[in-house]
Amino acid sequence: MTGTATKKNGTPLLGHIAAVIAVCMWGYSFVSSKVLLDNGLGPVQIYVYRFILAYVLVLFISHKRLWASSFREEMMLALCGLTAGSIYFIAENTALEYTLATNVSLLTSMSPLITAILVGLVYRTQKLGIGTWLGAGIAVVGVGCVVFNSSTSLEVKPLGDMLSLSAAVCWAFYSLILRQLNANYDVWFISRKTFFYGIVTALPFLLFETGASDVIEVLSRPQVYGNLLFLGVGASVTGYVLWAVSVKTIGALPANNYMYFQSIVTLVISAFLLGERVTVIGYIGIALILGGLWAGDNINKLFARRKQHS
């Protein structure tokens, strides 16, 4: 969940700790959602229940201001609800029905790299360096390996992986919108509006979903309400707050680097709790994606330093 503020304030160690905890929560959230799917809840049901809980909690904290300053900015907040809410999470949760939790976590963690490319294309003053393109190329090869990892034979079933990439693209567009909103609104207001519009735009999908019929019985199971509480209170509300603290204290770029390790958390937890098997080609894909993401951040810095010294 990326922010765009760059002002550093507070103890750097606190910012790093906050980022680690937030990323661990988000890494576990994929496994948590997979457990809810296995208990009969549909992808849209999981999203709606999770975000209603998160919205109510945030509403207690941020309730004085109702609307944005202009209709244009209110529509931008509605787009946040679509790109970082309903479309993102419905695509992500649906992907968990077709591919490994590790795959979903890994492919959605490419959003910072996709964001960097979009920023370079939209904001022409910010040119993309060779490191960004090289990193993207390496990561794309890694994506291909990850897609093959989710198949038990040579037949590739990429629906889940493509949905995961679609979610990553949605989050990248959300990051572009957030660049403009962060200048005028605090994180609580943006989060509340994102949760609200995310719920509203998900309701039509809920009408067509064939999820659990006996919802009360399913929600009464400890593993179901326990994971929903974690997703709503932990991964959504607490995760957003910790991420805001991290971005404020250590800056957006250092905080974003922690996103790349989200998939490693999911890999370890899903192996223990879900028994998901990762093949050799899957591990190669993980290495290539993380290597590509690292290259995108660091090769450009290396060229910049050499240019300064030349």
pLDDT at 155: 47
- 160-178: b or e for each residue (b if 16 or more CB lie within 10 Å)? bbebbbbbbbbbbbbbbbb
Name the residue type at position 56.
Answer: V
Smallest Cα–Cα separation from 218: which of 86, 30, 31, 37? 37
- 157 neighbors 146 (Cβ within 8 angstroms): no
**Helix, coil or strand: residue 64:** coil
- 47 neighbors 89 (Cβ within 8 angstroms): yes
Mean predicted confidence (pLDDT) in 46-75: 94
pLDDT at 128: 63
Structural domain contains residue 215:
no
pLDDT at 308: 74
Residue 6 confidence (pLDDT) above 60: no
Residue of higher predicted confidence among 74 and 110: 74
Which residues lie below 8 Å from residue 99, measured CB to CB, with a gap of 6+? Answer: 150, 157, 159, 160, 161, 164
**Confidence tier at 288 by pLDDT (50, 70, 90):** confident
Residue 7 confidence (pLDDT) above 60: no
**Helix, coil or strand: residue 208:** coil
- 111-146: b or e for each residue (b if 16 or more CB lie within 10 Å)? bbbbbbbbbbeeeeeeeebebbbebbebbeebbebb
Share of the chain above pLDDT 90, in %: 34
Structural domain contains residue 266:
no
Return d(Cα 174, Cα 168) in angstroms, integer.
Answer: 10
Each residue of 209-230: pLDDT tens digit? 876 667 889 999 999 999 999 9
pLDDT at 37: 93
Return d(Cα 100, Cα 151) in angstroms, integer.
Answer: 10
Residue 140: domain span: 101-156+279-310
Structural domain contains residue 264:
no
Which tokens sit at 176? 């572009």
Residue 3 confidence (pLDDT) above 60: no
Return d(Cα 216, Cα 197) in angstroms, integer.
Answer: 25
pLDDT at 154: 43
pLDDT at 2: 41
Each residue of 21-48: pLDDT tens digit? 998 999 899 999 999 999 999 999 999 9
Which tokens sit at 31? 């496994």
**Of 72-86, 97-111, 291-305, which range is least confident?**
291-305
How far apart, in Å, are the Cα atoms of 180 and each of 81, 133, 171, 255, 294? 15, 25, 15, 19, 26
Each residue of 90-120: pLDDT tens digit? 999 999 988 888 788 878 877 777 877 777 7
Which tokens sit at 196? 């609200």
Secondary structure letter of residue 258 according to DSSP? G
Question: What domain count does the chain have?
Answer: 1
Each residue of 126-168: pLDDT tens digit? 566 777 778 778 877 887 777 676 655 444 558 888 999 899 8
